[in-house]
């Protein structure tokens, strides 16, 4: 199941903190699509995934909106 988390307009550290909280409340193996406009969230979320074992499926930026797809670790 893929769900969407729109965090556009929020600045560091809120995108990372809200992504972390959201992932804690979904099932293992579920996907979440995170939308952000804060440029620092790109590396913050990627580093968070690397440290926690969650899978960074993709990250793309278009029109100043970064779409990050994460799969919660199994």
Instruction: Give the SS3 label for residue 16.
Output: helix
**8, 12, 50, 65: the active-site residue:** 12
8 is catalytic: no
- Closest C-alpha to 20, from 8, 10, 9, 34: 34
List active site positions: 12
């Amino acid at each position: 199941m893929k769900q969407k988390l729109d965090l556009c307009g929020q600045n560091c550290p809120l995108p990372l903190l809200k992504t972390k909280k959201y992932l804690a409340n979904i099932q293992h193996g579920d996907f979440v699509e995170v939308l952000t406009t804060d440029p620092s969230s790109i590396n913050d979320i990627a580093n968070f995934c690397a440290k926690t074992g969650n899978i960074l499926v993709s990250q793309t930026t278009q029109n100043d909106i970064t779409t990050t797809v994460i799969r919660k670790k199994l």
